[in-house]
Amino acid sequence: NAGVTQTPKFQVLKTGQSMTLQCAQDMNHEYMSWYRQDPGMGLRLIHYSVGAGITDQGEVPNGYNVSRSTTEDFPLRLLSAAPSQTSVYFCASRLAVITDTQYFGPGTRLTVL
C-alpha cells in the first residue's frame, strides 16, 4: 500500500504557465481533497470529491480546476499560474462517510515567479 502519492515534489513556474499536480491513492477511498498551506497558516480546502465523477469547490477554488475520472486519481490543474499560488499543496483521501480519518500525501512545493 503506497497510500496517497503526489507528484511532483517541487515545481517552479512562471506567471501565466499552466500545470497539473498529480494525486493518487491505492486505498479505494471515496473521498479525496486538495488543500493548500501557506507559511504560518493552517490548511485551506481548494476542491474535493466524494466519488468518481463528482467534484465540488472548497474555500479557495479560484484559479484551480479538478476532475475525478477514476476512484484512484484526483489531479489539480492550475490554469494560469500566479505568484499568489505559491504554496505547499496537499492531497488527502478518506474511506467513506463513517470515518473522518484523512490520509495526506507528502505535498508538492510550488513556486510561481
Partner 1 sequence: DAKTTQPPSMDCAEGRAANLPCNHSTISGNEYVYWYRQIHSQGPQYIIHGLKNNETNEMASLIITEDRKSSTLILPHATLRDTAVYYCIVMNSGGSNYKLTFGKGTLLTVNP
Find cell 506567471 and name the residue: 15
State the nearest-atom distance from the C-beta of 18 to partner 1, in Å: 24
What is each CA distance from 103 to 45, 75, 91, 92, in whole angstroms? Answer: 14, 16, 8, 5
Contact with partner 1 (CB under 8 A) among 23, 24, 92, 110: 92
Q: Does 11 bind partner 1 (CB under 8 A)?
A: no
Query: Which CB atom, from 14 or from 100, has the smaller least distance to partner 1?
Result: 100
Q: Does 2 bind partner 1 (CB under 8 A)?
A: no
Full DSSP string of 85-112: G-EEEEEEEE--SS----EE---EEEEE
Residue type, 95: L
Do the Cβ atoms of 51 and 110 come closer than 8 Å? no
Contact with partner 1 (CB under 8 A) among 33, 71, 87, 93: 33
Q: Which range in 13-21, 66-74, 77-85, 101-109 contacts partner 1 by CB under 8 A?
A: 101-109
Contact with partner 1 (CB under 8 A) among 59, 80, 84, 113: 59
Contact with partner 1 (CB under 8 A) among 58, 61, 63, 75: 58
